[in-house]
Structure 1
Amino acid sequence: MAAACAMTAALALLPLAHATPDTGRPAAVREPASLAAAPATPWVLSDTCADPEASLRPSGVDGAAIARIKAAGKLVAGVDQNSFRWGYRNQTAEGGLDGFDIDLVKAIAKDILGDENAVIYRAIPTSQRVPALQEGRVDIVVRTMTINCKRLEDVAFSTAYFEAGQQVLVPKGSPITGYDSSLKDKRICFAAGSTAQAALTSQSYGSVPVTVANQLDCLVRLQLGEVDGIVTDNALAAGQAAQDPSVRLVGSPFTREFYGVAMNKDASDLVRRVNKVLENYRAGGSGSPWMNSYRKHLEPVLPGVAAPPAPKYRDG
């Protein structure tokens, strides 16, 4: 029976597992009332900076990073290919990759290079998002990456493009009720380098940690009965629940987090350019590119989002 379950899970997720062609430069649930729901047990990452979501002011002026991308003729983007509705393999989509994050990558490429398809997509695991930027393997990472002070020590971020929160995903009928004492002695899965890992390291509630490289691996383990629950962004979890109706989100979001486009710390001109793209991407109210992408990809699994987060800027 276990072998049969494993085969079923593998087949169900197979379309998401194909490798992304790499050429060019080297190296749901509808249960949560709101993403901003008040957490039952607040947990806050011990940030050491003020206003981590504040980024550089937008500009269209080219600098060294933009010049390098234009000379190469391609934008190299680190993305996910396993997160349903965000960045995933969709055989009906041009180029095979689809999702909310992929739409944003295309908008950035269109602005810089004049062609939304002038992109080399590199699928990177959660734990490799920062190293990929530091080592120059990618120009940007658009991969549901939460902006926080710790990460700002290593990379630069754009202004926020989506708001989410950590929540618990479990099989229907599970005794787990949320991020609380019901996690005691339960095997809880999370991705290495994620906000979930930081939360559970700080307050585990007696749970048994299970770490994976990619967040989707947690869903496979949950399907196989190898873990009892998952802690992850509820925005991601809603897509996973849409893939597997036998799971559901429980409790309330216990963090308030913002996704940003990550870039190398030395690429200030690229940060400003991406912020310019985001200004245009948000503009237009209900008819903005942001809202159009949300309605296409996320509204079916994550309803009730009325607008993108407002940008914050810092001096300089």
Structure 2
Amino acid sequence: MTAQVPRTRLKGWGGVGAMATACALALLFALLLTCTGSQGRTPAKTTGESVSHAERTRAAEECTAPEKQTLPPGDADGPTIAEIKSREGEKRKLVVGVDQNSYRWGYRNPNSGEGVKLEGFDIDLVHRIAEDILGDPDAVQFKAIPTDQRIPAIKDGRVDMVVRTMTINCARIQEVAFSAPYFKTGQQVLAPKSSPVEGYDATLADQEICTAAGSTAYSTLEADRKAGRLPESADIRTTVPNQLDCLVRLQLGEVDAVVTDGALAASQAAQDPTVELKGEAFTTEYYGVAMKKDADDLVRRVNRILVDFRADTADGWQSSYTEWLSATLGEDSSRSAPPAPEYLRRS
């Protein structure tokens, strides 16, 4: 019997060196599951929502402008905020689901000194919310959660909110409540510089594409392949719990391309100079703060905080963009700035 010869692939870091470097990063940041058995070619995980698939589909078809389906700003302390403020001692903190492996968004900086602090654009926003609600920017309990656990973590009450590059879309607003947008982005393709892939087009035919389970990238690819906008031969079976695991699989030559938010892909390209963004963004998406569906007072408060955050020219949105994202997305922040908020949800 003839032994099967493994398919040769592009490798961003090369052979054994790639695995060693990937594992070193995993240990350093305590964030990668890949070296200990991350998911492979499995369908995207379900997220434990109670709403049926048919109901979600119908609601999504009727939905327009999901980024506008939020409540007007407010300052009142309702039951959700009152419960947060009533926590005593060390538990008197805002519990927030975040990422710890997205470079410049939410990541553990090994040069931040003792404790290896979480830093990034999303982390700045979390501190701002904690300062407003609890009077202390550091009154936060960070909980690192995988991409596919963002909605379950909110619905199960494990976190008060999720601030984790989470796109507002029609399916998700059936499950959780969102703030107004705080960032604008879009899906893009990431691939090795030497790859024949040129963007989100016919060059993805016969290519193996990695996405994060439960992400908008996976659902977009799935829908586009059914609609004929993505080549039928594109293999989208590879999904992983955390988006950065896709970069490692790309570096190890296990996949040909990654599809994710352009804002995240730019940060990943900064981490590995052998890969690059291919083509332009092919969707328009907005990040929002996600909370429980009935946490109206918290949604209103976060929306008021976001108004102040955007208006604060000294220590607000622009300052955070300049510090964390200008190096990967460019000095001009206008393409990433959220639109003027609209508050169309009334109850």
TM-score bin (small chain): 0.7 to 0.9
In the other structure, the counterpart of 2:326 is 299
In the other structure, the counterpart of 2:184 is 163
In the other structure, the counterpart of 1:71 is 86
Choose which of 300, 310, 313 in structure 2 pairs with 1:272: 300
In the other structure, the counterpart of 2:339 is 309
What is the one-letter code of the residue matched to 2:15?
A
Shift of 1:8: 2.0
In the other structure, the counterpart of 2:29 is 16
- In structure 2, C-alpha distance between the alignment counterparts of 1:2 and 1:123, rounded to whole Å: 30
- In structure 2, C-alpha distance between the alignment counterparts of 1:129 and 1:18, rounded to whole Å: 16
CA shift in 2, pair 1:18/1:265, >3 Å: same
- In structure 2, C-alpha distance between the alignment counterparts of 1:12 and 1:171, rounded to whole Å: 20
Shift of 1:103: 0.3
Query: Contact 2:31–2:101 (CA<8 Å) still a contact in 1?
Result: no
Shift of 1:311: 1.2
Greater C-alpha radius of gyration: 2
In the other structure, the counterpart of 1:24 is none
In the other structure, the counterpart of 1:254 is 282
Between stretches 83-92 and 123-132, larger displacement belongs to 83-92
Choose which of 99, 122, 137 in structure 2 pairs with 1:116: 137
List per-residue Cα deviations over 1:115-170 (Å, max 9, x = no partner): 01100000000000000000000001000000011000000000000000000000
Shift of 1:223: 0.5
Shift of 1:199: 1.1
Shift of 1:10: 2.1
Q: What is the TM-score of this pair, normalised by structure 2?
A: 0.80
Q: What is the TM-score of this pair, normalised by structure 1?
A: 0.88
Shift of 1:47: 4.8
- In structure 1, C-alpha distance between the alignment counterparts of 2:111 and 2:72, rounded to whole Å: 37
Identity of aligned residues (%): 57
Q: Does 1:197 align with 2:218?
A: yes
- In structure 1, C-alpha distance between the alignment counterparts of 2:270 and 2:17, rounded to whole Å: 22
Choose which of 227, 231, 238 in structure 1 pairs with 2:266: 238
Choose which of 67, 74, 81 in structure 2 pairs with 1:53: 67
In the other structure, the counterpart of 2:245 is 217
What is the one-letter code of the residue matched to 2:316?
P
What is the one-letter code of the residue matched to 1:50?
T
What is the one-letter code of the residue matched to 2:323?
K
Query: Contact 1:15–1:90 (CA<8 Å) still a contact in 2?
Result: no
Shift of 1:18: 5.0
Query: Contact 2:29–2:110 (CA<8 Å) still a contact in 1?
Result: no
In the other structure, the counterpart of 1:283 is 311
- In structure 1, C-alpha distance between the alignment counterparts of 2:162 and 2:343, rounded to whole Å: 20
- In structure 2, C-alpha distance between the alignment counterparts of 1:173 and 1:91, rounded to whole Å: 30
Query: Contact 2:286–2:338 (CA<8 Å) still a contact in 1?
Result: no
In the other structure, the counterpart of 1:38 is none
Query: Contact 1:282–1:288 (CA<8 Å) still a contact in 2?
Result: no
In the other structure, the counterpart of 1:7 is 20
Choose which of 229, 239, 264 in structure 1 pairs with 2:257: 229
In the other structure, the counterpart of 1:32 is none
Bigger strand share: 1
User: Map of 1:18-167 to 2, 5 A cutoff?
Assistant: 18=31, 47-54=61-68, 55-72=70-87, 73-93=92-112, 96-167=117-188
What is the one-letter code of the residue matched to 1:88?
Y
Shift of 1:101: 0.2
Shift of 1:50: 2.6
- In structure 1, C-alpha distance between the alignment counterparts of 2:61 and 2:179, rounded to whole Å: 18
- Could you list the runs of 5+ residues in structure 1 that have no partner in the other structure? 20-45
Aligned length: 289
In the other structure, the counterpart of 2:193 is 172
Between stretches 299-308 and 244-253, larger displacement belongs to 299-308
List per-residue Cα deviations over 1:61-80 (Å, max 9, x = no partner): 00111011111211000000
- In structure 1, C-alpha distance between the alignment counterparts of 2:343 and 2:261, rounded to whole Å: 24
- Could you list the runs of 5+ residues in structure 2 that have no partner in the other structure? 1-13, 33-59, 226-230
Shift of 1:17: 2.4
CA shift in 2, pair 1:184/1:79, >3 Å: same
Shift of 1:13: 4.8
Query: Contact 1:47–1:150 (CA<8 Å) still a contact in 2?
Result: no
- In structure 2, C-alpha distance between the alignment counterparts of 1:18 and 1:129, rounded to whole Å: 16
List per-residue Cα deviations over 1:211-231 (Å, max 9, x = no partner): 111000000000100000000
- CA RMSD, 1 decimal: 1.6
Query: Contact 1:47–1:148 (CA<8 Å) still a contact in 2?
Result: no
